[in-house]
Chain A
């Protein structure tokens, strides 16, 4: 009888292991902040940058906090930690990024998207790192797609012209020539970047070319390719090329970065750059998409 019980318990253990492996396959929604930061680094529950943490923002949402002040390269380990935690093994991720968060996730995928990653257990310590699950590895991360609000992957002329503090390391990364030379923006490891571009900018319109959300111009938020910026607008402006929706080349012929698609262009000039710690501005559009489709 005892022998039988022992055999039964072993079988049960094997069954539990199998069930555990299958059952913990989980999808996550990762939110990567932009300049200024605000959330505690490594605390994936701290949504200070974005707004109330009680707000719905996609399945199993996690706030991937970095300081929004230092260089992209300095802070990049925080993003890689989060991707390792939640986007390896049987777990998959949807990513949402705002402003310089676009530069952050683009840099990560271009530089490290094909690197060998340990599969993690999705249980984060206070430093934001997770333990290995079974010691095995995989190539890259499991990312279904990326939503980008007011993306600064193409930089901002506010960093070019000395309007932002030169003492801030991130500002030099955001110079348009530097941001665009930092990595191959077309190399997203085949993940789609869905671009949401706001146009309610007035204050810096004499610095930011074409339409802008008060921090970034359409050439960046619309994922327009090239080593420098350019002037792109809503349809109807005769003096400025249109930013096209989708993946089509823009008026004037300049292509978008590959795997970048403009899904929201602010024709009504109603959305600015700022979250206002209330999931505001263009982020509100991305949040709606995450709620609907990141599940």
Chain B
């Protein structure tokens, strides 16, 4: 009987593996041989007293060395991946050193560009650069967008520039009715004394109040007879999904929580970020929130993780500043509806002793899962290297 059961079990396992691995997929638990190298290795020359597959032939030894180099590379990659993940995830993904997010430190700074003066498909005008700024790409509700242009020569000296025409129009979109009238936009001297021309577009009052999509501002330039165009895109969504309603804080489980209160009109996945500076003005943390939120009075919890505070020892009180938020609209375009920007200092924390914060690393099922798998990869590669160096 026991033999019968053994036979049944063997057959069943064979069937299972066949069923569960469609297409002959290679299971991860079976270490694979490095096919590319095996194929690339030249056929070993047969020497007296050895076979073609013998590791004692010159070619056999060469193939083994090649295989060893491959596995050493894999081991290095596995070790780097493990060490990096372990180091990175000592803090949760939602509470990071701001230095890791270099372009998120000043999120509301205008986007500055420096481009050649040219028309589409044309050559660039010699010795003329166009410097542009745009203060945001995504806008909702009654928000407006400011643009600037100026011309300079190769040494950065201001050149005279004319905006001969500027119009805003909707980019073609199969989901929108075409034929919306173009809106003229007026560029005037910005008064900065360096020849900068500026304009403001407020979609809600300039013909786009019922439009969701990309608005393109096309600007025609004339620099002393040389022509060129620049384009600015604004992704506009009339919907304002929520309004801010204040901030509170609470020290909890060795971390400091900032609760951003909001009146949520449209439920869904909200993505919110805020920066934290210490009392000396040093930027040190980027906090984020990304989760489903119901309609009504809600709080977005941004957690300043205890160990991040312990490791960086900021000077209290802390300032929460430059808050960005939007409702993420999955699988749609536009994919977001913005909350109003909260620019500059938004909230100042109380002062706490450093010892109030926990010094323990982030712990979660996700982190455990990754560390287990990445450790396994290191072990397997190490084993292969050891076998090849015996």
Contacts and interface: CB of A to CB of B under 8 A. Distances in A.
Given A26-B25, A292-B34, A177 B113 contact: yes
Residue of A8, A15, A122, A177 most packed against chain B (CB within 10 A): A177
B331 interface: yes
Interface in A251-295: 255, 257-259, 288, 291-293, 295
A243 B94 CA distance: 30
Interface in B201-245: 214, 216, 229, 231-233, 235
Interface stretch (B100-108, B275-283, B306-314): B100-108
B369 A142 contact: yes
B32 A12 contact: no
B43 interface: no
Interface in B33-83: 34-37, 70, 73-74, 77, 81
A12 B365 contact: no
A214 B163 CA distance: 30
Contacts of B124: 206-207
Contacts of B27: 23-26
B134 interface: yes
B172 A190 contact: no
B177 interface: no
Nearest to A144: B81
Contacts of A16: 9, 12-13, 16
B369 A20 contact: no
Interface residues of A, number: 80
A166 B169 CA distance: 12
Given A163-B120, A227-B111, A258-B100, A178 B22 contact: no
A157 interface: yes
A172 B134 CA distance: 16
A238 interface: no
A162 interface: yes
Contact of A142 (B12, B17, B229, B373): B373
A139 B28 contact: no
Interface in B323-382: 328-335, 364-366, 369-370, 373-374, 377
Interface in A139-156: 139-140, 142, 144-145
Contacts of A255: 102
A76 B331 contact: yes
Contacts of A111: 271, 290, 328
A245 B120 CA distance: 33
Interface string B76-98: 01000100110011000110000
A27 interface: yes
Contact of B29 (A9, A15, A22, A70): A22
Given A60-B26, A166-B216, A176 B113 contact: yes
B1 A4 contact: yes
B117 to A, nearest CB: 11
B331 A73 contact: yes
Interface string A164-187: 001101001001111011001111
Contacts of B329: 73
Given A12-B9, A16-B9, A60-B26, A178 B115 contact: no
B226 to A, nearest CB: 14
Contacts of B28: 25-27, 90-92
B84 A162 contact: no
3 tightest A-B contacts by CB? A162-B120, A73-B335, A181-B137
Interface of B: 1, 5, 8-9, 12-13, 16-17, 20-23, 25-29, 32, 34-37, 70, 73-74, 77, 81, 84-85, 88-89, 93-94, 100-104, 109, 111-113, 115-116, 118-121, 123-124, 134, 136-138, 171-173, 214, 216, 229, 231-233, 235, 269, 271, 273, 288, 290, 328-335, 364-366, 369-370, 373-374, 377
24 contacts: A12-B8, A16-B9, A23-B21, A73-B331, A73-B333, A90-B28, A91-B28, A92-B28, A115-B290, A139-B365, A139-B366, A160-B231, A161-B120, A162-B231, A167-B171, A178-B137, A180-B111, A181-B136, A206-B123, A206-B124, A259-B88, A293-B74, A295-B32, A295-B34
Given A73-B331, A192-B81, A206-B123, 12 more contacts: A16-B13, A24-B27, A26-B21, A77-B331, A139-B365, A169-B333, A172-B216, A175-B233, A178-B235, A190-B84, A206-B118, A288-B36
